Amino acid sequence: MSSTSKRPQIQTSFYSSPVQIPVGPSNSVAGSGAGADLQARKRAQLAMLMQAGKVLKNHLMMRRLTDRIHDLMRDDLRNHHERSRDYGGHF
């Protein structure tokens, strides 16, 4: 890409100045490890999505998950209540 050509831009509603879209290869000498890290994160995300799909299809697994979430939330609420009581607060 020549130095006289302009990079593509997109307008965002959050900022008054346009955001420039990166052009060219994203893995340079300085960021050569970023490609492998990104691939590893994508593989982990895909595995998590596949597991979530299995849980949604299996009623027993879904029940165990919701029970576990309920237990964690109850414990967190109990801990918060104990902490607020230690500081003299009322919950």
Report percent pLDDT > 70 for the chain. Answer: 56
Taking the model in full, what pTM does it have?
A: 0.47
51-70 confidence digits (pLDDT tens): 999 999 999 999 999 999 99
Separation between Cα atoms, residue 10 and residue 1, nearest integer Å: 19
The two counts, helices (H) then strands (E), for the chain are 2, 2
Across the range 22-29, mean pLDDT stands at 56
pLDDT of residue 26: 57
Q: Which of 73, 47, 51 is nearest to 61 (CA)?
A: 51
pLDDT of residue 15: 45
Separation between Cα atoms, residue 64 and residue 77, nearest integer Å: 20
CA distances from 74 to 67, 69, 70, 79 (A): 10, 9, 6, 9
Is the pLDDT confidence value at 78 over 90? yes
